[in-house]
Structure 1
């Protein structure tokens, strides 16, 4: 394999993983990150078996399991306690589970695995590419390159996506979210993602996300669904009315938020729906959210970023010509990504919208559908990231499943575990 000079724009999960994988293969990698200081963006996320398999390939599975919190169940309900969704990984077999993680934990694990920080150019916003896609211009007008390959991993709001000349559509979702991390303390559901819904207008969630390097306090990732246009009004009203509302909707969650004393402690998240016909042009290729940003309803963003980076590495190993490798990369990933884009577009109005009739239908039908033999299996595959196309199943490697089965789970307090069930 010929060693390439590769530029990676963005040092989020997709960029970090690509840098690590490609550097290990002997390529000369340079990363351009717009932030002046490197660090994670966001609170927590749920790693699915597909994402865990990539960490296993990287040799980071054991470290991830040591910091993350195993999640065996996803449960959603109305404020009165009526179940809307109840999905358990046990139905997939193979001892599979999700892993709640803090973004800071994954960021540190990936950064420590590729410690050559001198190759990360901080404070560099790449604003344009030369027509041949080999040279890049930063915000100061300076040109960088030429490179053999330019990887745009600059997220859902990518400034370089348009350089493919293949963007079909890009739109900001009207609903966003507020996020923060809070201490888990005596939270009763230490191995479950718990959500509460008020029609589709309000959604509260609590996800156990474990610890991160340098901080042994187990935490929960809290999120509150909110229309993007109401962010500023929410901030102006202050915490008191918001706290009162949470106390009425979910007293247990309200108790965990005692440490929140300022609206600035909650980060704002805005989501995009992006459709790109072709993820590459000449020597440019899109990775992660830059290629296929979608609603967070299925929680696949981090998992997709990890899988994209691994697929690109494999394609470059197989094809000596870069354009052929980029074509193979998209072909390998597109069927998997496509079905999740489809379902995220359909599910978003069911969970984040002002369409009350749709939400009522969801509350009545969603749980029974998940108990039907065919519907249950399909929902579980979509949940775990193992749906491939509309009818296929993405296989997991037997060696990975064996490693997952041998990994020792972190012991839960017996009373908490009993109470969660």
Structure 2
């Protein structure tokens, strides 16, 4: 039986939400602290991979996710002249599997509805200090809370608390960010594909079907446009008309979807590259982007957060001793995350940089590399979140694979 503990979760993003559900179901007393006055989703959409979908199946949320999300069967990227740079199909990995594009608002709502103790969410409370020895936490107003048996810092890529673990090996902000928004899908033809277009590595534009959300049955696309962080002000000053001309030159079909978008609808995103030697100290432990922020190039952020949550739950179940539990959690997750940090670090300059020589090599070599024996399978496993180390595979639950197969069969019958 799980030893009941008192738990403080700092941050109500995907990692914090999933942890609040899983740990409450295990009869821990869970309190969540969130700095936002009105907690809600941040960002437009994302791609749930089989790894993250498996966790949602274990949380009994897969039917709701599949109801609102958009099935994604293919990941396709090309140059403006039509040269295919990336062309990956989930069927080449497993005929029963696919990704799911989803609006952040949809997943946020489904996770919020699944937590049985919403009264334990304390909004408008920024935690600025953790006493890792006693488990007490101090908010920005100077008030102390606790003590807690476990304090989980899930306060995102820009975490203010990870420094208190004193285990950072590398922590820096990426020079490139992105503009994001949601668009009505309309008559967009690629309803089950992530589509991207690249101009060298200086321009990257993408459209991902992300389905609907509770209370809104309009199917939507998540649009993104990569941009150096130091060019955000230039973009704003140049105005929408000039930017839309750039979009039209790169991808006329995407330009047609953006005609009625107001500048304020385009959210700005920035990213960090964070690698930690240690994920915990005393009673304090990191989860989600606070533990392993990385470039969004591989699209793994939400999936990694879900995997963190279930791994930490399992470790607390298996080890009555807290130190042993946190160490087991760290070992399990670092073994999976390491390969994604590696590829994210090396792939990002191929898609977001001013290194034209690298981009030309990418355009020529990516296709053939994917056809090398073993190479395509490795690339598919990395993209789907199921690569574990250099040679291993992240096991998926047999029940999850069956559920995906049944869902696919039901869809074909309709």
Which bracket does the TM-score occupy, shorter chain normalised?
Answer: over 0.9
Question: How many angstroms apart in 2 are the aligned matches of 1:116 and 1:236?
Answer: 46
Distance 2:136 2:342 in 1: 34
Structure 2 matches for 1:40-189, cutoff 5 A?
40-130=41-131, 132=133, 134-189=135-190
> 1:255-309 CA distances to partner (integer Å, 9 max, x unpaired)?
111230x211101110000011010011000001000000111000000000000
Alignment partner, residue 374 of structure 2:
374
Deviates more, 1:131-140 or 1:203-212: 131-140
Rounded Cα–Cα distance in structure 2 between residues aligned with 1:116 and 1:54 = 20
CA distance in 2, matches of 1:391, 1:94: 21
TM-score by length of 2: 0.98
Give the match's secondary structure for 1:268.
strand
2:258 is paired with a residue whose SS is: helix
Partner of 2:193: 192
Shift in Å, 1:132: 1.5
Q: How far 1:239 moved relative to its partner? A: 0.4
1:214-234 Cα shifts (integer Å, max 9, x gaps)? 000000000000000001110
TM-score, normalization by structure 1: 0.96
CA change 1:64–1:410 in 2 (3 A) is farther
Q: CA deviation at 1:408?
A: 4.3
In the alignment, the residues of structure 1 paired with residue 95 and residue 190 of structure 2 have an alpha-carbon distance, to the nearest angstrom, of 23
**Greater shift in the superposed pair: 389-398 or 35-44:** 389-398
Residue 300 (structure 1) aligns with: 300
372 and 400 in structure 1: CA distance in 2 versus 1, 3 angstrom threshold: same
Residues 40 and 107, structure 1, Cα contact 8 Å, conserved in 2: yes
Three-state SS of the structure 1 residue aligned to 2:38 is: coil
Q: Is the 8 A contact 1:150 1:283 kept in 2?
A: yes
Look up the match of 2:356.
356
2:409 and 2:221 mapped to 1: Cα distance?
A: 18
Residues 8-67 of structure 1 deviation map (CA, whole Å, 9 limit, x = unaligned): 000000000000000000000000000000110000000000000000000000000000
Is 1:390 paired with 2:385? no
Matched with 1:14 is: 15
- Return 5+ residue gaps in structure 2 as ranges: none
Matched-pair contact (CA < 8 Å) for 2:21–2:116: no
What is the alpha-carbon distance in structure 2 between the residues aligned to residue 270 and residue 64 of structure 1? 27
Matched, 1:218 2:207: no
Alpha-carbon shift at residue 411 of structure 1 (Å): 5.9
Distance 1:153 1:166 in 2: 16
| 1:340 match | 340
CA distance in 1, matches of 2:13, 2:61: 17
Moved over 2 A (4+): 408-412
1:81 shift after superposition: 1.2
1:335 to partner: Cα distance:
1.0
Match of 2:6 in 1: 5
**Structure 1 unaligned blocks of 5 or more:** 415-421
Alpha-carbon spacing, 1:78–1:221, altered in 2? closer, same or farther (3 Å): same
Equivalent position SS for 2:30: strand
What is the distance in 1 between the residues matched to 2:184 and 2:45? 13
Residue 309 of structure 1 corresponds to 309
Aligned length: 412
Shift of 1:133: 5.0
Q: Deviations over 1:193-237 (max 9, x none)?
A: 000000000000000000000000000000000000001110111
The 1:64/1:330 distance shift into structure 2, 3 A limit, reads same
- CA root-mean-square deviation: 1.3
What residue number does 2:258 align with? 257
Q: Secondary structure at the match of 1:320?
A: coil
Aligned counterpart, 1:278: 278
Partner of 1:419: none
Q: Is the 8 A contact 1:152 1:160 kept in 2?
A: yes
2:205 is aligned to 204
